[in-house]
Amino acid sequence: MDQIKNMESFYIGIDIGTTATKAICFDKQGNVIKEVAIAYPMYHPKPDWSVQNPEQILQTVKDCITEITIGIQPEFISFSSAMQSIIAIDEAGKPLTDAILWADNRANSIAEKLKNSEKGKHFYQKTGIPIHPFSPMTKIAWFKEFDSDIFSKTYKFISIKEYVWHHLTNEYFTDTSMASGTGLLNIHTLKWDEEILDFLNLKPEQLSTVCEVTHQCKGISDDFLYIIGGGDGALANLGTGAMNKGCIALTIGTSGAVRLPIDQPYLDEQMRTQCYHLMDNQYLTLGAVNNGAIVLQWLRETLLKTNQSFEVLFAEAEKIPAGSDGLLFVPYLLGERAPIWDAAAQGSLLGMQITHTQAHLVRATLEGILFGLFQITEILIPDPEKRKLTKVMASGGFGKSELWLQMVADIFQMTVETSQTIEGSAWGAVMIGMKSQGNNVITEHKTGKIFYPNTNYKEVYESAFNKFKKVYPIMKDL
C-alpha cells in the first residue's frame, strides 16, 4: 500500500467478464500494482437460456472499485467488458429482464430462419455480425415475437456495460467497439442502422447514444473520472500489442477468439467472421467460439468429477503424446459460433479406446478447443506461408499454462508470444484512457515468454485437424 501511495500516477482498468469482474491497478509502464477479482454465477433457468443478475454484477463492479481504490486516487478508471449481453430496462432504469448473455440460444429458431434469407445476408453486409442467437439483434427479435409484454414495456435495450455505466455516470452511452458487436450498428457508418431498427420495430432512442471509446465522464457519487473504454476482444488486441501488422491475437477465457487487425471493415462472403471497430481506422476481423475454458470446467466437474486442480490435470496431460493417441474431441457443448454458426451443434468424442485414460481426455479437450480456434485462423490467414510470418499474441487465463501455449504453437505452427500483462483487456482499457486524456498511447509492449512450433508434431496435428473439420458436417446430417 505504501508503494501505491507514493506513486506519482496510476491507472485502473475494470474488465467486466462473463464469470468475474477484475479490477487492475497499473503504473504508466503497464506494470500491475494491485489486482482484485470477484466471481459471479451464470444461470440456466430454461433450456438454451444463459443469464446473469445485472444487479449482482453492478454491485460486484462497485465492490471491485471500492477495494482497488483503497488509499489511492487513480488518474481514471477505464472499462473493458464482455460483449453481446442485453438487458431490457424500464424508464426508471430498472431491469425488466436478466442480463441475457452471448451464450444464450433462445433466439435460435429466429436466427436460423433469418440467416438463410436474403435479408439476413443483407444485414450481415451492413453490420459484419453473422446472424446467430449470440447477437443482441436476434435476442431483441425474440422479445418482439415471443414476449411482447416485455417488448412493449422496454424503455431501452442495453448491455451490462451500459447498465454499469449508467449507474456510475447517469448516462446512457455505448462505445463503437461494444456497439459494433450487437448486429444493430452499421459497421460502415458507425451509426445504428435504420433498416435493422425498422425490422425490429425499434426506435433509435430505445438504444444508447453511440460514442467513441475515449468518451469520459465524472462519477455522480464519487470523484473518479470514468472512461467508457471498449469491448474485451478489441482491447485485448490493443493491450497485448496485437494491433500491429504481423500479429494475430488469441484469447481463451470462458469462451475464445482469434482476432486480426485491419484498417477498414472486412466482410466474409460465407458469413463466417465478425468485424468490430475499435477507434479511428482500426478494425478487427475475427471469429469467436462459445467453447473455451468453460469446456475444461465441465470436464473436471461433470465428467471426471474430480477435485484435482487444473495444474495437476495439465501435468498428467503433458505426458500424453500429441494427438492424444487418436482420441478426438469436438467441443461444441454450447453450440458454436465461428466458423459454423450453429447454436444446435453438439459435442463429439471420437476414437475412444479402452487404453485411453483421464489424462487422454484432458489433452484431447485442450487440443479440441485449439482445433476450433485454428479453424478460424485458417480463414483469417488462409496462406500457410503468411501464417509462418505472423505471431500469435496470447492473452486471457490460458496464458498462464505453458503446456497450452506450446500446444498453440504446435497446432498453429506459428510463434506464440505472451505479454507481461496477461490481462490484456484491462491494460487495453487503460491505454484508451491515456488517449482520452491526450497522452501518447504506449505501444511498446514487454514480451513475456515465447513459444516456437515443434515441427515434429506438424504431421500428427495436421491429420487430427483434418479429421476435426470433417466431424461437424457428418454429425449435422446424422
Q: Please tell us whether the domain made up of 2-231 is placed in CATH 3.90.1150.10.
A: no
> Which range is least confidently modeled, 39-48, 208-217, 347-356, 417-426?
417-426
The answer to whether residues 165 and 213 touch, using CB atoms and an 8 Å cutoff, is: no
| Residue 397 confidence (pLDDT) | 75
| Residue 421 confidence (pLDDT) | 64
| Residue 413 confidence (pLDDT) | 97
Task: Compute CA distances 220 → 58, 160, 171, 224, 255, whole Å.
Answer: 15, 18, 10, 9, 34
List beta partners, residue 418.
394
The answer to whether residues 103 and 120 touch, using CB atoms and an 8 Å cutoff, is: no
Residue in this structure with the C-alpha cell 493417441, named with its chain if needed: 325
C-alpha cell at position 140: 431483441
Q: What is d(CA 390, CA 245) in angstroms, rounded to the nearest whole number?
A: 8
Please determine, for residue 111, whether its predicted confidence score (pLDDT) is greater than 80.
yes
Give me the percent of the chain exceeding a pLDDT of 90: 83
Q: What is d(CA 220, CA 224) in angstroms, rounded to the nearest whole number?
A: 9
Place 5 in a pLDDT band, splitting at 50, 70 and 90: very low
Give 18-30 as a DSSP string: SSEEEEEEE-TT-
Q: How many CA atoms, within 13 angstroms, populate the side-chain half-sphere of residue 375?
A: 26
Q: How many CA atoms, within 13 angstroms, populate the side-chain half-sphere of residue 357?
A: 8
Using alpha carbons, select from 174, 9, 147 the residue that is nearest to residue 76. Answer: 9
User: How much is the average pLDDT of 222-248?
Assistant: 90
User: How much is the average pLDDT of 384-392?
Assistant: 93
64-81: per-residue pLDDT in tens?
Answer: 999 999 988 999 999 999
Using alpha carbons, select from 78, 81, 190, 80 the residue that is nearest to residue 437. Answer: 78
